[in-house]
Chains A and B, each alone.
Chain A
């Protein structure tokens, strides 16, 4: 297979270990005086956006940052719980850059680009150094060193964390760095602004159209380069662990203006989330993967067992992950754990009223922690109740906020009863196709963090999203953007009365007018929920050709209905959250169709993409490396019309193999 001529990944020459070092030493630079006249727009203020904006402003570029929230600190990176990976080998347990690289490629089921992933592993250590220097309060040991824990898909402890609020602490670190630049006037921050379109001039991205969400006014903003750091598109499923506002609009607009969309069908269904409790539900809540360190997952051995969890004796429990995957046990990667939970529930072993849940049980480890405390404190003749009480204190320190959250939502106390959990949509590995520089197929338009497709293949390992967002923002884009901007030093700011800006703004205005004029009978949420159901049923944890074909038809019909029957109240010139949602859902509908087309085209199973037709006898994902070891990069041609371009994935350092966690 040869890669499409339209895709040049620009992977540097040289051995894997030397590519990034050599690249950094030879990439073109922009001198400090020229940086001051080069303007960069950053859309999105999560880990990737804030870290990129702060770093680029520190270097001297003129930066504008846009976010739809009321403050950059609210971007959804804030909700990441468990941790951030880095190959520091502080635990002396055999970690290395190569091992992090290898685990990530294998965890992604051999569908990620080697050079990008190796670079990610190389810079991972610097992320921790940078965050600590900013005052991020990571968890520490009594000796004052940083603490680590385990995450899925690895056998080393390389995850750095701050209780169950690692994303919050990392984002507040990046946000502080960003606000420092705002205070110095190096960054202009435009909160409550939503990007409505990109503006291309002579084949290069030269700015955006944004909407001031308070006044509704459309604005034109020029830049020499635009960075989309706008997160993933999990909300296409309506119910997901994403925040309510997370959306695909920026990425989708870029796609329709020439940026290819990479591997849209690769979505991550996270195994440990609080199950759906009713149709009023607006979002799902994750219970961090770190809980799998200390929690054991099980279902009753008897189908349709109606006994309470604590009435089921040990020998009648099926610890199915430990049974099927003894080497990794409860710490198998997310896609494997999710499918295993679905398999048990579908077979009739599920628990809870809906029977669509499994137990995540902390009893054994609570007791173990209690015994350690007893020894540490030098206590004697301690009752079992006291041991468990001491153990609960340890568990509380490690996971207190998660246990509280569980209790708030379910009304059950997880210190007393095992949690009930079920998989839910969490992350999207797919995203805008980017080259080694993180540039999309539109010159001057970049995508960072979850918004791009690049590092996680078909399945992301836990604690690697924070790593990638910060790697892209702090340590990759500050170098790679020079390769492009060094050629742009003679480009003067283009006035925003240029016809391209005028035209783009008129198109946005036209769409707003159209949405408001439909005055149909159904709310935006009504369409969003129905789209979500189609996607979950037919393009979710398991997919097949027939279901995907049906989904494509269903989505096309839903799109027609949306554009003839949606009701968007209010006007264009005011704070109008329903209008914001309408734009986003219209884009989700179009994306949903492309996801199904991509899933239908990929006639294999890999990572989070599980086609029921392609599985091993024991129900594992069955890849077809001869025909599908490629990145699917889709070009937008017209409505419902996309052209596939393939980037061949060459594995020069890792031998392709069936993943084995047993």
Chain B
């Protein structure tokens, strides 16, 4: 399998036909890889060669290839999105590896992310969590002039930092418990920090956490792997905020009941 560079690599890639079939590792040789290629472009070279050799290409999710859509999701040498901090798989470049390296590539592993095929998994559980409460209930056309809502710049910036989550699921893949707390807390934080989110503040956190539990994600034990592996550096402080929001909401719920 030859590109136009001078790196030669051995890939051990998880192959699985579908969610009901058992998977296993297959070994591939990636030859002539350029250090300027992205990790996915290296996979393109391998797939091109598999196709010309009448073999089945490796299935993986990808789309924007600029680190923002959150589609790519490879577990590389035991780390979501590979060895480099703060980047997605599509922005990981082969200059982060050495000629002769063996690279192990797996899908996200979590009961809540069933494998669809090879490296592609089903993350629709994240969408259902957002449906449970990750919004402000405002219909189109009801808004007042935008500058009537003044927001402290620090709060707005903090909300933005939380909102920068791309929903890739690396936090879940990194967590030994498969917890989705970083993902959920990012959305809860964004809206809890803004005046627009106040009306539904308590319902939101209760409903989103309930859905998260129903999807089969594990509990958070404050290991911090999620923050360390998050390609967008979403902060653990969001989880602390989620816990505070949740406790407050429970308290309010008990009062009402």
Contact = CB atoms under 8 A, between A and B. Distances in A.
Contacts of B71: 69-70, 74
B87 interface: yes
A575 B44 contact: no
B68 interface: yes
B117 interface: yes
Contact of B41 (A69, A141, A191, A282): A282
Nearest to B196: A135
Interface stretch (A93-101, A172-180, A590-598, A632-640): A172-180
A128 B146 contact: yes
Interface string A167-200: 0110010011101101100000101000000000
B93 A78 contact: no
Contact of A169 (B122, B131, B153, B163): B163
A55 interface: yes
Given A76-B64, A137-B194, A165-B164, A281 B57 contact: no
A78 B68 contact: yes
A131 B91 CA distance: 29
Nearest to B167: A73
A163 B145 CA distance: 22
A172 B63 CA distance: 17
Q: Chain B: interface secondary structure?
A: loop
A145 B143 contact: no
Interface stretch (A383-391, A548-556, A566-574): A566-574
Contact of A79 (B3, B56, B64, B116): B64
B127 A73 contact: yes
Contact of B160 (A169, A277, A285): A169
Given A73-B167, A280-B4, A134 B67 contact: no
Contact of A71 (B5, B87, B126, B160): B126
A19 interface: no
Contacts of A27: none
A404 B84 CA distance: 13
Contacts of A54: 140
B142 to A, nearest CB: 7
A243 B71 CA distance: 11
A409 B95 contact: no
Nearest to A136: B163
B98 to A, nearest CB: 16
Contact of A570 (B56, B127, B190, B191): B56
A168 B164 contact: yes
A180 B151 contact: no
A79 B69 contact: yes
A142 B156 contact: no
B124 to A, nearest CB: 7
Interface in B192-230: 194, 196-197
A382 interface: no
A134 B196 contact: yes
B153 A142 contact: yes
A408 interface: yes
Contacts of B194: 135, 137
Given A180-B137, A575-B18, A74 B70 contact: yes
Contacts of B67: 405, 408
A311 B94 CA distance: 30
B140 A51 contact: yes
Interface string B3-23: 111000000000001100000
Contacts of A525: 44, 48
A250 interface: no
B140 A282 contact: no
Interface residues of A, number: 82
Contacts of B120: 70, 575
A574 B18 contact: yes
B111 interface: no
Interface in A117-158: 125-126, 128-135, 137-146
Contacts of A88: 146-147
A408 B93 contact: yes
A518 interface: no
A78 to B, nearest CB: 5
B145 A179 contact: no
Contacts of A177: 135, 140
Contacts of A411: 36, 93, 95
Given A162-B160, A408-B93, A523 B135 contact: no
Contact of B130 (A179, A245, A405, A409): A179
B197 A129 contact: no
Given A523-B52, A575-B117, A474 B87 contact: no
A132 B196 contact: yes
B182 interface: no
Interface string B103-145: 0000000000000110010111011101110111111111111
A471 B157 CA distance: 26
A157 to B, nearest CB: 14
Given A130-B140, A132-B146, A162-B160, A408 B87 contact: yes
A191 B147 contact: no
A142 B152 CA distance: 7
A478 interface: yes
A70 B66 contact: no
A576 to B, nearest CB: 8
A652 interface: no
Given A140-B151, A283-B65, A404-B86, A133 B127 contact: no
Interface in A277-297: 277-283, 285-286
B156 A137 contact: yes
A130 B164 contact: no
Contacts of B143: 126, 129-130, 132-133
Interface in A66-123: 69-74, 76, 78-79, 88, 90
A143 B142 CA distance: 25
B57 A129 contact: no
A163 B160 contact: yes
B164 A76 contact: no
14 contacts: A71-B127, A76-B69, A133-B136, A133-B143, A135-B197, A140-B156, A140-B157, A163-B160, A180-B137, A183-B131, A214-B116, A280-B34, A280-B37, A578-B51
Closest 3 CB pairs of A and B: A144-B150, A183-B131, A176-B135
Interface of B: 3-5, 17-18, 34, 36-38, 40-41, 44-45, 48, 50-52, 54-57, 59, 61-71, 86-87, 91, 93, 95, 116-117, 120, 122-124, 126-128, 130-132, 134-147, 149-153, 156-157, 159-160, 163-164, 166-167, 190-191, 194, 196-197
Interface of A: 51, 54-55, 58, 69-74, 76, 78-79, 88, 90, 125-126, 128-135, 137-146, 162-163, 165, 168-169, 172, 175-177, 179-180, 182-183, 189, 191, 214, 243-245, 277-283, 285-286, 404-405, 408-409, 411, 474-475, 478, 521, 523, 525-526, 567, 569-570, 574-575, 577-578
Given A69-B69, A165-B164, 20 more contacts: A58-B140, A70-B122, A73-B70, A129-B144, A134-B196, A137-B190, A140-B156, A146-B146, A177-B135, A180-B135, A182-B127, A280-B3, A281-B41, A285-B65, A405-B66, A409-B91, A475-B140, A523-B48, A574-B17, A575-B120
